[in-house]
Amino acid sequence: MDSVDQVDNCIELLDLHAEHLCRVTWTDPNGKTRLWESAERATRSKTTGVDAVGICAILEKANGPEILLQKQFRPAVEKVCIEVPAGLVDEGESVETSAVRELKEETGYVGEVVKGGLAITPLMFNGGSFGEIGGCMLTSLQILALRTPMSTWSMSR
């Protein structure tokens, strides 16, 4: 039987409003004990098991479709980043409803979820490394494709 990675211990270091910081001790397949720090969202929806949605908004323009991106200042990198619209899933909300809501809140556009294919991705986990011993901010998310006719832009954002 092959050896597998195994978490041995997880100690919560800090409990913030939206995140938990933990130190994880785990054993790799070679039997070596390793340390990992992780920040996990405390906002994961109990209904969907998803923290956030990313939105691939397809703008239906007369000269052909375009993908909508946005600029947003991110304090962690002290820079403006180009990214897809995204946001957290509210408790009791479906990922589809969350994607439509977040698209309107962040961009002013109203869209509808594309049906079929990979219009809604399987559950994914996203994390960037940090810390000397390795670690990540773990977010569960799904990417949804939304079609957005140009006539649905709203000034109400």
Listing DSSP states for 9-47 in one string gives EEEEEEE-SSEEEEEEEEE-TTS-EEEEEEEEES---TT
| Position 123 pLDDT exceeds 80 | no
Query: How confident is the model at residue 127, as a pLDDT?
Result: 61
| Residue, of 139 and 12, whose pLDDT is higher | 12
Give this prediction's pTM: 0.70
Query: How confident is the model at residue 104, as a pLDDT?
Result: 93
The contacts of residue 154 (CB under 8 Å, 6+ apart) are: 104, 108, 109, 110
Query: How confident is the model at residue 97, as a pLDDT?
Result: 92
Query: How confident is the model at residue 134, as a pLDDT?
Result: 47
Angle at 63 between CA 61 and CA 69, to 5 degrees: 50
Give the torsion sign (CA, 16, 76, 108, 85). Answer: negative
| Position 74 pLDDT exceeds 70 | yes
Query: Do strands 52-61 and 64-67 pair parallel, antiparallel, or not at all (unpaired)?
Result: antiparallel
* 68 backbone φψ class: left, alpha, beta (φ>0; ψ -120 to 50): beta
Amino acid symbol at 39: A
